[in-house]
Structure 1
Amino acid sequence: MMRVFIFCLTGLLSACSLTPEMTKPALPVPATFPRHDNALGTMSPPTAELGWRTMFSDERLQTIIGLALANNRDLRMALLNVEAVQAQYGIQRSAQTPHLDLTMSSSRQRTRTSNDDGTQTFETQQQNNLNIGFSAFEIDLFGRVRSLSDAAFARYLASDYGRKAAQIALISAIADAYFSQRLAAEQLSLTEKTLTDWQQSLKLTQTLRMGNQTSAIDIAQAESQVASAQANRAAKIRALSQARNSLQLLVGSRLPDDLPAPRALTDQGIMTRLPAGLPSDLLRYRPDILQAEQNLIAANEDIGAARAAYFPRLSLTSAIGYASSDIQHLVGSGYSAWSLSPQIELPIFQGGKLDATLQLAKVRRASAIAQYEKTIQTAFKEVADGLSGRETYQQQIAAQMDVIAAEQRRTQLSKLRYQAGVERHLTLLDAQRQLYAAKQTWLELKQQELSNAVFLYKALGGGLVESSETRE
């Protein structure tokens, strides 16, 4: 009997809901990206389905990303936050079902009675109870409890999307820091090689001076150039150390000594031409947009709960069990007892609390809509920036290689003319400095091209899948 009664009460949870219809705002961005490559988009799968091991073929970088996913503190806190919100959802969802409790109690009471003859008698009474039932279970007539549960579930989903967004951001930051470290290492190698060349040039100038074929000014200029390279080397050593420290912080643990050998910036094999698709695709693949959408759903459900608070609340307390003054005969057919206590609560005056609660819920939904639209606009801008970089870095790098080739020819000719005594030493020094600067710039452009590809990969929602078979 009691089971049937509880089942009927649970069925009432499908009552009406006062939550407003959920309508997402229109896409607040253009229908296509600037520099949109439709052919590339139709030939390739979505970038979000491209595994990070496929995107980054450098085994050293792959190992570091794996270490970061296991040890990064920010990602760990994001996971713990998901677990906390999941527990909160479980707490809120439990309000939709009766909470059955088994209680056993015993009480003794002594009473005093005055008799007609003026005497007093004392009597001791004992009562023992054994009951199973539920207390103050709310019958969700207007969907208040269900709205609160749905809001908690949406926030749980939002926290999980937040964890996914944190993973994407971490992989992007690791790759960017790794390429920065490789840039610092290769620039240091270039600086040390250049320093060796300039030291040999200084020795040649000193030899020519001994033969009165050059002046003391030429030696001073060569010494200044060598000192400049030494200072630059110290700066590159510092940059390499700081880049290593940044990478280690992101990983969350000490980098092991047995990592695979790194690849050069020119041999990374990273995909730079990624399919962008359409802005509407971001609504499916960007975790931060999905997180903002779930927060909007939760805010909408809060309005339903706030509206339902204006209406009566019906709650029930029920129990079935046994009651007896003799604990030895507590359980038996002659000692059964039951109770059913319905209670209805109708708000009459609360000093404007209900109105303020509803107004707050509406404001929070408006804020969630604005945040949702802003997240979409930010995602559109990030993809557009990545596409712009994709189209221009290759052209800039090719032009920079032409600059290096021209500076190499200029340096060779200046050196020959200087040795022949028909060119000033200052011209040779200037050519050497320009060649060194051109090579440094070329390395920086290669790193920036790789970082732009990483940025576009992140902007398109890539980084959640570990591996995939598709490569361009």
Structure 2
Amino acid sequence: MTVATAALTACASMDGLHADGRAADPAALHAERKFARIATSPAAWPKSDWWTALGDTQLDALIAEALKDNPDLASADARAKQAQSQVDAQNAKRLPTVNASASIAGVHLPTTAAPEPIGGSFATYPAVYASFNWSLDLWGGKRAAWEAALGQVRAAEVDAHAARLTLSVNVARAYVQLGYAFAEKDVADAQLKRANASHALVRQRVAAGIDNRMQIKQAEAEVASAEQQVAVASEAIDSARIALAVLLGKGPDRGLDIARPKTLRPGALALPTGLTADLIGRRADLVAARWRVEAATKSIAAVKTEFLPNIGLSAFAGLASSSFDNLVSLPARFYMVQPAISLPIFDGGRRRADLNDANANYDLAVAHYNSTLVGAINDVADDIANLDSLQVQIAAQQRAVDAARAAFDLSRQRYKAGIGSYLDTLSVEQQLLAAEQRAAALAAQQVDTSVRLVQGLGGGFDAGGDVPPIAAIDPQSTTPPAQRKPGSRSSTITQ
């Protein structure tokens, strides 16, 4: 039995400890039948400035302002800087340390400890010295810990991209809500005008003895209800403006300067070619999840090396003397070189606990990735289904609006011709206003869903080839991944 084999045998055991997480295969999440009827195009991936396609320059300016001033983005950037500091700390652990010191000691020895002239006298002992320490990274554990920190940095950087996308999407959706609030206010104002006209007409009919006071009370109730709806619509406008002010990182007065939005153009109903395969590199949350799995893999490799022996090298050299006169002289020199080997034999289970923790973190990272992947594909499917349905609903509702407007025009013609009553005209107008309100709600929902689909498709983010593969961890292996044969592991991280 060789010395190396004996050393490995003596080390603490990692037997029985392994990670259980298995990454989901995107190809196994079939969506072919769900998307079979939807047109596909390579151009269907959103652009980084996707909001400009909605056709409102005020919205463009608001998103630019939010991306500049929103405090949540500063938090995301700070987290990326924090992760970078961990990379620097882990890289420092891979390098040797060199320290230099100088000291002067004053010593008085009693005569009981040493005879005169040494005893009973006071002497100074100046010294200058330097130390060197280096723990060799025989098994690649320190490198793996550094690579794990690099993975966390990449994840934090991608999280910052995701935060910017989420912010731009939230601004666009709040802007859509503001536009719909104005449309509701238009309908509420028209309803109030119609209710007041109906109330005036009923009062005339009661005065003429045609109607009774019951009709007047009904008309008054309708006016009061219409006034309440106007107040609700006005409040919705104020709330939408305040929501936008919050997203812009400004006070509520900033919202008062936001003008009524234009009618926004929804995105075309189309899917990118190769959606299932390419979505992993197009969604920031999926890319960040992959990097965290990579980091957890490296952390396991780093912890496993703690079970193995290691070699350290220390050196100590300097000058010491009993006076400053001969401190800088050849006889004053001293030095020590100390190579050492460490064998982790018994630690009360600390290393096994650390490995269990690293395995659990890997399982958590894989579970989060799997959940994000499943959610991403189904988010897109849900938005596509909603847009498909909304196209049908909007077309049907437009026919209803056209029919209600034709009926309203006909009732006015009949009233002017003396055939129909004004009350009939007002009643038909109420149907028209209700149809227009529903059409406005569907149009806003269509734009909102288009924006959500943009987010589901990654919002213009593209990691390209910078997406780490998820390497399977052999649960039976006790050899650190850094020591396996070249090609047995794949990684995009390079020094």
Instruction: State the 1:196 CA deviation.
Output: 1.9
1:33–1:279 CA contact under 8 A, matched in 2: no
Task: Give yes or no for the alignment of 1:446 onto 2:430.
Answer: no
- The CA distance in 1 between the partners of 2:115 and 2:226, in whole Å, is 120
Match of 1:52 in 2: 50
* 1:29 aligns to 2:29 (yes or no): yes
2:488 is aligned to none
Partner SS for 2:97: coil
Q: Distance in 1 between matches of 2:283 and 2:412?
A: 56
C-alpha distance in structure 2 between counterparts of 1:87 and 1:397, whole Å: 53
Q: Between 255-264 and 435-444, report the one with greater CA deviation.
A: 255-264
Task: Out of 214-223 and 118-127, give the one that drifted further.
Answer: 118-127
Q: Displacement, 1:327?
A: 2.9
Does structure 2 retain, via aligned residues, the 8 Å contact 1:171–1:463? Answer: no
- Unpaired segments ≥5 residues, structure 2: 1-17, 463-495
Instruction: Report the alpha carbon displacement of residue 403 of structure 1 after superposing the two structures with TM.
Output: 0.8
Matched ranges for 1:272-421 at <5 A = 272-277=268-273, 278-332=275-329, 335-414=332-411
Query: Cα distance, 1:105 vs. partner?
Result: 1.8
Aligned residue number for residue 271 of structure 1 = 267
Identify the match of residue 173 of structure 2 among 164, 171, 176: 176
How far apart are the structure 1 equivalents of 2:353 and 2:369? Answer: 24
Give distance in 1, aligned partners of 2:325 and 2:384. 83
Preserved CA contact (<8 Å) 2:73 2:160: yes
Give yes or no for contact 2:387–2:446 (8 Å, CA) kept in 1: yes
Looking at structure 2, the residues matched to 117 and 78 of structure 1 have their Cα atoms a distance apart, in angstroms, of 70
Following the alignment from structure 2 to structure 1, what is the Cα–Cα distance between the partners of residues 127 and 115?
Answer: 36
Number of residue equivalences: 441
Q: How far apart in 2 are the matches of 1:425 and 1:383?
A: 50
- 1:226–1:411 Cα change, 3 Å: farther
CA contact (8 A) 2:52 2:60 kept: no
CA distance, structure 2, for counterparts of residue 234 and residue 379 of structure 1: 39
SS of alignment partner, residue 140 of structure 1: coil
Name the stretch that deviates more: 385-394 or 172-181.
385-394
Q: Give 5+ residue unaligned stretches, structure 1.
A: 1-18, 466-472
Note if contact 1:148-1:301 (Cα within 8 Å) is conserved in structure 2: yes
User: How many Å separate the matches in 2 of 1:166 and 1:420?
Assistant: 62
Q: Judge conservation of contact 1:63–1:259 (CA < 8 Å) in 2.
A: no
State the secondary structure of the residue aligned to 1:436: helix
Aligned twin of 1:193: 190
CA offsets, 1:20-44, max 9 Å, x none?
9x985422521647225775323x1
Query: What is the percent sequence identity of the aligned residues?
Result: 27
Identify the residue that residue 89 of structure 1 maps to in structure 2.
87
Aligned equivalent of 1:16: none
Q: 1:320 to 1:37 in 2, by over 3 A?
A: farther
Q: Which residue in 2 is equivalent to 1:64?
A: 62
Q: CA deviation at 1:379?
A: 0.5
Task: Please say if residues 138 and 310 of structure 2, whose CA atoms lie closer than 8 Å, have aligned partners that are also in contact.
Answer: yes
- The whole-number CA distance in structure 2 between the counterparts of 1:171 and 1:256 is 17
Q: How much does 1:116 deviate?
A: 11
SS at match of 1:264: coil
| 1:66-145 pair list within 5 angstroms | 66-112=64-110, 121-135=119-133, 137-145=134-142
SS state at 1:126 partner: strand
CA drift of 1:237 comes to 1.3
In structure 1, how many angstroms separate the alpha carbons of the residues matched to 2:82 and 2:113? 65
Name the stretch that deviates more: 408-417 or 430-439: 408-417
| Superposition CA RMSD, Å | 3.2
User: In the TM superposition, what are the counterparts of 1:244-263 in structure 2 within 5 Å?
Assistant: 244-254=241-251, 256=254, 261-263=259-261
Mean CA deviation greater in 209-218 or 50-59:
209-218
- Report if aligned partners of 2:276, 2:377 keep a CA contact under 8 Å in 1: yes
Partners in 2 of 1:210 and 1:116 — Cα distance?
Answer: 130
Change (3 A) 1:133 1:24: farther
In structure 2, how many angstroms separate the alpha carbons of the residues matched to 1:257 and 1:312? 64
C-alpha distance in structure 2 between counterparts of 1:429 and 1:196, whole Å = 10
Answer yes or no: is the 8 Å Cα contact 1:221–1:426 preserved in 2.
no
Is the CA contact 1:92–1:152 (under 8 Å) kept in the aligned structure 2?
A: yes
TM-score normalised by length of structure 2: 0.80
